[in-house]
Amino acid sequence: MGSLGAIFLVAVALLFAWSMGAHYTGAVMGMPHASHAIRMMPALILMAILTVIGATSASGGVQTTVGLHIVDASTVTIVAATVMVLSAAILTTVYTYYKIPSSTIQIFVFSIVGTGLAAHVAIHWDTILHLAVLWVLAPVVAVILGFVFTHLFDLVVPPAEAAEETRLVAGVEKSPTVVPTISAAARALPACLVVVGGAASFTLGANDVSNAVGVFSMVNLTTTTIAGLVGGLAMAIGALTWGQGILKKVAFDVVKTDLAMASAAQMVQALVVLAAVSQGLFTSMNQALIGAMTGTGLARGNNTIQWPVVRGIVIGWAVGPFSGITTGFVLYSMLQLVGIR
């Protein structure tokens, strides 16, 4: 297919990046927006800027993992690379449309596997195993850290003060049942939450842009820096143009939060995912956040967690890998039937 195939691959990759930008608004700015620390559009703009920076400056290791260590890149054609990205892009767009916070990373990795199986490409199962172990551990660690960090925040800002500051930020009248004086630490919570949301946005670029542009390394299309920049810009556009629905879903439907809980959850998410990125690995932003939110909810009591919503999200995560491997395999097999390889 030559240059035409490369152009189509880039177009599909940018479409996928755009879809991810919309899909992950809730994972990085859901907590700041839910707690009324920042309005919708400023949240999306801040997310867009920091996602581009993270994708450009910190995604190289993960792009290398995607491009060179999941399948044998020497035998991957542009058509196969395109199918890998297209399969994941279609599924992510569908999940975003139905406002289901699935794991794009797991969808993408298993789209690669499905396509590789259909194309008879050697698969590095040891990398898949390492990633699978990380995917199991990350949300568990996030639950534990969410629980611990919430109690640490409570030592600095008592829950009553955090709840009252949350009410004030939301524009609710002051409650007569709490102390009238709000400490400086409590008043700093909204700004703290926006900062950790920004850190999560940077992490999103570093962690997730490789889902779209990591395949560029498979076919030697461009450098990881340029790929990260282009993919990050597409993600930013996706967040700004189609990110409001999923942002509302994660922000308001999972856990009833105050500012301290939200800050703890968002901080844990960024730490867990950045730890993976530093090793050239990648894990789900949504899983890290939902795990952290669950931990913060447990720290404050079961009644703060919307368990039916959590169960629905877990089902979405379980379906993601199966749908990825199936879509990749079927789509490439269909192209083979018509002579496109």
Q: pTM of the entire structure?
A: 0.89
Confidence check: pLDDT of 123 > 70: yes
pLDDT tens across 45-99, in order? 999 999 999 999 999 999 999 999 999 999 999 999 999 999 999 998 887 777 7
From CA 283, how far away is CA 301, in angstroms rounded?
27
Helices (H), the chain: 2-23, 25-34, 40-58, 60-68, 78-97, 104-119, 125-156, 159-169, 184-187, 189-213, 215-218, 224-242, 244-253, 259-277, 285-300, 307-337
Residue with more model confidence, 60 or 291: 60
User: What is the 3-state secondary structure of 187-219?
Assistant: HCHHHHHHHHHHHHHHHHHHHHHHHHHCHHHHC
36: alpha, beta or left? (left if phi > 0; alpha if psi -120 to 50): left
Picking from 295, 265, 276, 274, the residue whose alpha carbon sits closest to that of residue 197 is 265
Q: Which amino acid is at 35?
A: S
Averaged pLDDT score across all residues of the chain: 88
What band does 3 get if pLDDT is binned at 50, 70 and 90?
Answer: confident
Cα-trace Rg, the chain: 20
